[in-house]
Structure 1
Amino acid sequence: MTFWFLLVLGLVTYLMVQRIVAHNTRTPVWLLWLVLMTPALVWTVWVAIYGEKQPPSRPLILLMLWLIVICPPLFWLLFRLGRYSSKEFQTELPAPESPSANHPTAEPVPVHPIEPTEETQLRNCFPWSVYYIQNIEYRPQAVICRGQLRTTANNAYQQIKANIEAQFGDRFLLIFQEGNNNKPFFVLVPNTQAAKQANTSNPEQLTRPGLALLLLVATLITTTLVGAQNAVATLPPIWKLPSLAQTILSNPAVLLPGLPYALGLMTILGIHELGHYLTARFYKIRSTLPYFIPMPFFLGTFGAFIQMRSPIPNRKALFDVSIMGPIAGFIATLPVIIWGLAHSDIVPLNEKTGLLNPEALNPKYSILLALLSKLALGGALTPKSAIDLHPVAVAGFLGLIVTALNLMPVGQLDGGHIVHAMFGQRTAMVIGQIARLLLLLLSLIQAEFFLWAMILLFIPLIDEPALNDVTELDNKRDVLGLLMMALLLIIVLPLPQAIANWLQI
């Protein structure tokens, strides 16, 4: 009964966030939904462990009260960080399934794109030897030009884009997409960002270094606190806030054991987001600095994110920006987890051994984790061994989980962007749906994946298209994308018994 109530509540909450909030902020819908659902998820986990008949304990009640107090302000903060003014850059981009689907970085602008007398000028921008235009459809925020492609997609886009800019200046953004019949079409949308920049002497401040630094310091404090609570058994929990504050003020050194965990985790998350940020800067995509999300319980943070404030020019840029985060984060994770595993303790397997128990972790739940554990611990790791993770190893293990979650080929996750860039938006939606179902099936074998699978079910499959969403990637990027999907598999799949026997673990 509790499961079905949570499922209905989660679905209703997601639909409300999607319909009411999503169009006014760039913060991912799944993140806003997760913040709102945190109290319900915590309560459901407690009921699943202890049963519905056992009355809630005092610590649980205090934790629920704390969540009820902190989640609404956190939701508001995330909403405000991603919010944009109604005067900001707008466009309405047609998705492959519909010529009126909203672009995630846009809101409606009630204007007619061009005057009827300008249609001849528009047609002249499409040379018959490049793109033979057949008909023009007028929408309130877009002009859709359909016809026959006569050259390569990249050449057509570049030449027609130059013609549009020569004829109309910076009035329009040009989008190139594939339709349901696999025939590419062009869309002109008003470039209100250019009008905004022309009418103001104060350009929008994107980076906000003060806010980024404030969130960085706050997250360092919360992750250090969580790490110290895990390392020092006598440190009061967060729901005993007065006692906790008194203990810290009387002896600040009690927080020092939490620093290895905090620094390891924040280094991984920060380098992941810097990979996105620096690549976006390389492609001249307007983006914010990485913002950390502090939380005084659970992991100490809900992660970090950046916001991109301008359209992505092509699938190559979409691929590079998306893949550099997981690559950078994974490279940062490897030395952290190997060092942490080497300094972890070996404990016997017992009934509490599991994937999410850092005091008795069975490395065979993940192919990559098993290989790294054998590399770090050598012969000390046997088939009857589990690992009591060092705090740095906990941070590295969370780094693997973050990498795998981001690589899931669903919607606006990094993996969703990657498969979109590799195969196109329509094929990526099919891949995303298959990935959802496979993870749900895997959760029947590995229960720890169930919540993850449920979250993926609420993430929209459709991804924001690039301006030139037709030109395909080169072979090198396709191979790199497949390698990252292989990395996802060796993180989430359990170690086959044949390999376990060969490794003697």
Structure 2
Amino acid sequence: MNLCRVPLSPQCCYNRLQPLISVSPLKQINSPATRFLRFSTRNKWSVVCRLSETDKNDDELDKKLDEEDLNDSNSLELNSRPHQDQPLGPMLEDTSLENNNGAQLNEQTGVEWISNSVSISPPHVVELVLKQDGTEVQVASGSPLPGVKVPQQLDESIRIPKETVEILRNQLFGFDTFFVTSQEPYEGGVLFKGNLRGQAAKTYEKVSKRMQDKLGDDYKLFLLINPEDDKPVAVVVPRMTLQPETTAVPEWFAAGAFGFVTVFTLLLRNVPALQLNLLSVFDNLDLLKDGLPGALITAFLLGVHEVSHRLVAKEVGIKLGIPYFVPSWQIGSFGAITRILNIVPRREDLLKVAAAGPLAGFSVGLILLLSGFILPPTDGIGIIVDPSVFHESFLAGGIGKLLLGDVLKEGTPISVNPLVIWAWAGLVINPINSIPAGELDGGRIAFAMWGRKASARLSALSIGLLGISSLFNDVAFYWVVLIFFLQRGPIAPISEEISDPDNKYMALGVVVLLLGLLVCLPYPFPFSSEAATGF
């Protein structure tokens, strides 16, 4: 416990940790006029101080001092002996205050001197009672019912010592970086409110270096935006509180189980005969080999997506966990859930990593889709599809109309290369992950581009629209459930969350979101003029 040192003369006090105030059982002895103290603290600990003075030659009082182990009547001592509960009546009887005059406040110590004529006992005894009730107390000597204020306090709420908080406030922050105006508890640490001086990135770098030099690696600094007033705040927390969460089931085991089921659904999705009767799957496992080519194409696009995430993450210093591939009866897989294991340095870094996967997946999938429309079926027959399926995607319908021309007519089935269907399935997985909601790639992109508050609103809007779509589309229903239970966030704080990404990366983020819309939005125009005039 940090000792409280108060410059008193005569000095003689000791620390008590109970909220009640006791008085000496000795008889009152009138003494000359003296002064008493009123302490005003801004911490969880509040200080009650009583000062009394009488004749030093009183044998009974000297004996009492000896019993209480007061070695020097002119010294101030602090200890933590337990305090005895006493009723309020004796307190009032043993204390009399007269002629309260003007107060003088010592700003550094928080001690307010008030001149008084006082008659209390014992001699030269100052009792400090530190209260742990979370209140800010201002008391006069002997006052049994001090005025109580209840602000947010620090000491019991945080794990950072008070001395360290003072170092942070007075030595690490300053006029050249972040001028602190107030502080309060925050998530096991301290939140400093104030004024940001200069660019956030440079301020973070400068304060982090000072913290490293002064305090080592024990604490972590964050520069964030306060959602209440949209003003910058600095947060310092112990690094021990930032350990990644552990799961009851080993990650590799859960990821392997998810992956095994995903392989099965990828194969099943490309065998229509088995989709019609799922109960017959185990009786016709040999048919699953027919779905192998399509499963490999979709798995290849999934792999391109995940590898791109990891390559960029390694470049910017972000650690990713094991991917959990989510199986889907409708499209084979919903993609992968990948945790970020460390603290992301900047929003721009998060944008790079989040956008890398969808951009790579879109690019490769688009090349395969174009190849499928251009190349004839290998067996001369291909897959017979109804043109209405191309109305489900603005991108697929637009490309189909551009490349197939009048061949694509309403109500006339056409034969296409199976690569079209396989690539389309892979393309659909990318825009689903690009929805700006929760911790999906799209949610992380929106967070990195527009900040926490705007991305939270966009996420709520996206989930609401998905909920409406789920009334008509089973894929949307399963995706809403997946987001709600596994990916709804919130996204963990970023080290320096104030600076916006560079414009070129903002443009990449916009491209990813627009590509997602192009794939998911329906193609509204008719494929033939006959269909257009037939209405």
Give the structure-2-normalised TM-score. Answer: 0.59
Q: Give the alignment partner of residue 355 of structure 2, picking from 323, 332, 335.
A: 323
Query: Residues 217 and 313 (structure 1 numbering): CA distance in 2 closer, same or farther, change over 3 Å?
Result: same
Q: Give CA deviations for 1:324-369 in whole Å, capped at 9, x if unaligned.
A: 11111111211333334454545556xxx5xxxxxxx2x1222101
Distance in 1, Cα, partners of 2:330 & 2:393: 22
Q: Give CA deviations for 1:433-463 in whole Å, capped at 9, x if unaligned.
A: 333444556667x656752674488363743
Partner residue in 2 for 1:272: 305
Distance in 1, Cα, partners of 2:236 & 2:255: 35
Partner residue in 2 for 1:473: 501
> How far did 1:142 drift?
1.4
Q: Is the 8 A contact 1:270 1:290 kept in 2?
A: no
Distance in 1, Cα, partners of 2:502 & 2:243: 35
Distance in 1, Cα, partners of 2:279 & 2:310: 36
Partner residue in 1 for 2:427: 400
Pick the structure with more strand per residue: 2
Partner residue in 1 for 2:204: 157
Pick the structure with more helix per residue: 1
Q: Is the 8 A contact 2:298 2:425 kept in 1?
A: yes
Aligned residue runs from structure 1 range 48-63, under 5 A: none
Q: Is the 8 A contact 1:319 1:421 kept in 2?
A: yes
> How far did 1:263 drift?
0.4
Partner residue in 2 for 1:426: 453
Partner residue in 2 for 1:283: 316
Question: Percent of pairs identical after alignment?
Answer: 27
Partner residue in 1 for 2:233: 185
Query: Residues 384 and 195 (structure 1 numbering): CA distance in 2 closer, same or farther, change over 3 Å?
Result: closer
> How far did 1:293 drift?
4.6
Distance in 2, Cα, partners of 1:234 & 1:181: 57
One-letter amino acid of the counterpart of residue 212, structure 2: E
Distance in 2, Cα, partners of 1:277 & 1:412: 16
Q: Give the alignment partner of residue 169 of structure 1, picking from 216, 230, 237.
A: 216
**Which of 1 and 2 has greater Rg?**
2
Partner residue in 2 for 1:451: 477
> How far did 1:490 drift?
1.5
Residue segments in structure 1 that go unaligned for 5+ positions in a row: 1-99, 101-109, 197-206, 249-253, 354-360
Query: Residues 385 and 485 (structure 1 numbering): CA distance in 2 closer, same or farther, change over 3 Å?
Result: farther
Q: Give CA deviations for 1:93-123 in whole Å, capped at 9, x if unaligned.
A: xxxxxxx9xxxxxxxxx99432112233212
Distance in 2, Cα, partners of 1:499 & 1:282: 45
Partner residue in 2 for 1:120: 166
Q: Is the 8 A contact 2:224 2:234 kept in 1?
A: yes
Aligned residue runs from structure 1 range 403-414, under 5 A: 403-414=430-441
Does 1:133 pair with 2:165? Answer: no
Partner residue in 1 for 2:48: none
- Structure 1, 377-386 or 420-429: larger mean CA deviation: 377-386
Distance in 1, Cα, partners of 2:467 & 2:475: 8
Query: Residues 147 and 384 (structure 1 numbering): CA distance in 2 closer, same or farther, change over 3 Å?
Result: same
Distance in 1, Cα, partners of 2:520 & 2:282: 40
Residue segments in structure 2 that go unaligned for 5+ positions in a row: 1-151, 245-249
Paired positions, count = 365
Q: Give the alignment partner of residue 490 of structure 1, picking from 518, 521, 525.
A: 518
One-letter amino acid of the counterpart of residue 470, structure 1: I
Distance in 2, Cα, partners of 1:194 & 1:438: 34
Give the structure-1-normalised TM-score. Answer: 0.62
Q: Is the 8 A contact 2:347 2:500 kept in 1?
A: yes
Q: Is the 8 A contact 2:160 2:237 kept in 1?
A: no
Q: Give the alignment partner of residue 142 of structure 1, picking from 185, 189, 195.
A: 189
Q: Is the 8 A contact 2:410 2:531 kept in 1?
A: no
Aligned residue runs from structure 1 range 30-69, under 5 A: none
Partner residue in 2 for 1:464: 492
> How far did 1:183 drift?
1.0
Q: Is the 8 A contact 2:466 2:477 kept in 1?
A: no
Distance in 2, Cα, partners of 1:145 & 1:405: 39
> How far did 1:208 drift?
8.5
Q: Give CA deviations for 1:239-268 in whole Å, capped at 9, x if unaligned.
A: 2465235xx3xxxxx444211111011011
CA RMSD of aligned residues (A): 3.8
One-letter amino acid of the counterpart of residue 201, structure 2: N
Q: Is the 8 A contact 1:408 1:415 kept in 2?
A: yes
